[in-house]
Chain A
Amino acid sequence: GQQVMQIPQYQHVQEGEDFTTYCNSSTTLSNIQWYKQRPGGHPVFLIQLVKSGEVKKQKRLTFQFGEAKKNSSLHITATQTTDVGTYFCAPLVGNTPLVFGKGTRLSVIA
């Protein structure tokens, strides 16, 4: 399956600070999905990016897909304690099944 590098592995932020996680691939991706998994929970689909240079927003979350379709980022503005969890990118090449990046574990200190 498609391998990506997701960084950072961990991020501790003060509530109200911003947070960004990055997903980088050595090959061109068809599309990329992002998931959030709360502690003790299951992955929940957040968004799918398909187009080169695409930017999508969901309230305080901003998702970007690189122009070359080899990297992606998720940015959270003004983190809240409800943002705690692990954020996974999951790249897709062709019609292959979802393969997750290693994830970025976010903790938010109130």
Chain B
Amino acid sequence: DTEVTQTPKHLVMGMTNKKSLKCEQHMGHRAMYWYKQKAKKPPELMFVYSYEKLSINESVPSRFSPECPNSSLLNLHLHALQPEDSALYLCASTPGGGRYGYTFGSGTRLTVV
């Protein structure tokens, strides 16, 4: 299995909702990442998990809460989002560290209404 699987593919949520994005990989990769991509912009790093521990949080608002329950799974919990949080949320993984190509999932396209 050489894929990163993200669910759901599309999500519409209200500003008072709580939802979660899920990312799964079975390649034995030990580093997993969340990126946010707005239209016609490059992906922007949000969080990095290394060996299931949060190693980097790029000053992301607390309404985004990451979780890594095990080495194959990465969640992003969403609460009280704003319309400007609407974006494509991409998960990626690497065997470990930044010296390997990143494998990206197909993303969750989030719309906050």
Contact = CB atoms under 8 A, between A and B. Distances in A.
A78 B3 CA distance: 30
A92 interface: yes
A43 B92 CA distance: 10
Contacts of B98: 92, 94-98
Given A31-B99, A48-B101, A92-B98, A103 B48 contact: no
Interface residues of A, number: 25
Interface residues of B, number: 23
Contacts of B43: 43, 88, 100
A105 B40 CA distance: 9
Q: Which secondary structure dominates chain A's binding surface?
A: loop
A31 B94 CA distance: 15
5 contacts: A33-B102, A43-B92, A97-B98, A98-B45, A98-B92
Interface of A: 1, 30-31, 33, 35, 41-45, 47-48, 88, 92, 94-103, 105
